[in-house]
Amino acid sequence: MGSPTLISEHPCFGGVQRFYKHDSTEVRGPMKFSAFIPPQARNGKVPVLYYLSGLTCTEETFPIKSHAQQAAAELGLMLIAPDTSPREPRLPGDADSWDFGFSAGFYVDATVAPWSQYYRMYSYVTRELPELVTANLAARADAGGIFGHSMGGHGALVCALRNPERYKSVSAFAPIAAPMQCPWGKKAFTNYLGSDVNSWREYDATELVARRPFAGPILIDQGTGDQFLAEQLLPEKFKAAAAKSGQRLNLRMQLAYDHGYYFIQTFMTDHLRHHAEQLG
């Protein structure tokens, strides 16, 4: 596996914000991730929370825009945020549209060529990255949570629902909650996974939660002023499926908030406290 290469580090709220690069076996190329190390990590291993970003984002988006470090430092949480897709080698047409390909890996393991060779973000997030983090940073292997925004909210819900043994907590900001039923999801799944709709179900949080609930409570914040709410996000589909399976869900519709990071900043501390409670 080896060790990640430190690109930069910055003192932050008594801890340190770092940026790393490493050679990934899953995506067969270089990957970057950010890591906020809280001050408590100087005295021992701490719980670790993985954040998955949305369309067009990178590993820098979350640490710069979320304002999460102060609360994470107080709660003793390590924050890890990976990039949203492979960056090299480049593939033909990978940047033709903003909602597919470059910066839009959708946290799936692609099965259609040429994407299948490199776009393996699901396995990267759920296996390779946690193994790298726990081997090289002061992160507790037994206390991991996951959350994310939009495309990353979709990814976080799917990763947690499919890997309850790895993740003890989960939450999301404005997730693409039923990707099989929205234009973003249909486009990504068709191109990454092909025409067999049954294979799509493993990457649809609404389908997954209807089958088997997550052991802990799920927190979702969604702005009512979000321009993507009605067509792309569909939280009501997830809520209905959760009710069927008995999933504990706190879906909070936040009046007038939009899809951006001012919304995320506003409720970030609530999410970090939610995870801290579950991770002990």
Res 266: pLDDT: 98
Annotated active-site residue 271? The verdict is no
**Residue 256 buriedness (CB in 10 A; 0-12 / 13-18 / 19+):** exposed
Answer whether 99's CB lies under 8 Å from 176's CB. Answer: no
| 22 band by pLDDT with thresholds 50, 70 and 90 | very high
What is the residue-wise DSSP string for 141-207?
Answer: EEEEEEEEETHHHHHHHHHHHH-TTT-SEEEEES----GGGSHHHHHHHHHHH-S-HHHHGGG-HHH
Active site residue 94: no
Which is the catalytic residue, given 24, 150, 169, 171? 150
Upstream peptide bond of 38 is cis (omega within 30 degrees of 0): no
- Active-site option among 154, 259, 274, 275: 259
pLDDT in tens, 221-267: 999 999 999 999 999 999 999 999 999 999 999 999 999 999 999 99
Q: What is the pLDDT of residue 95?
A: 93
Q: Are 272 and 48 in contact (CB under 8 A)?
A: no
Question: What is the H or E stretch that residue 132 is in?
Answer: helix 129-136
- Catalytic residue selected from 94, 204, 221, 226: 226
Q: 150 catalytic, yes or no?
A: yes
pLDDT for residue 2: 76
Please report, in angstroms and rounded to a whole number, the separation of the first and last CA atoms in the chain: 29
Q: How far is CA 92 from the centre of its chain?
A: 26
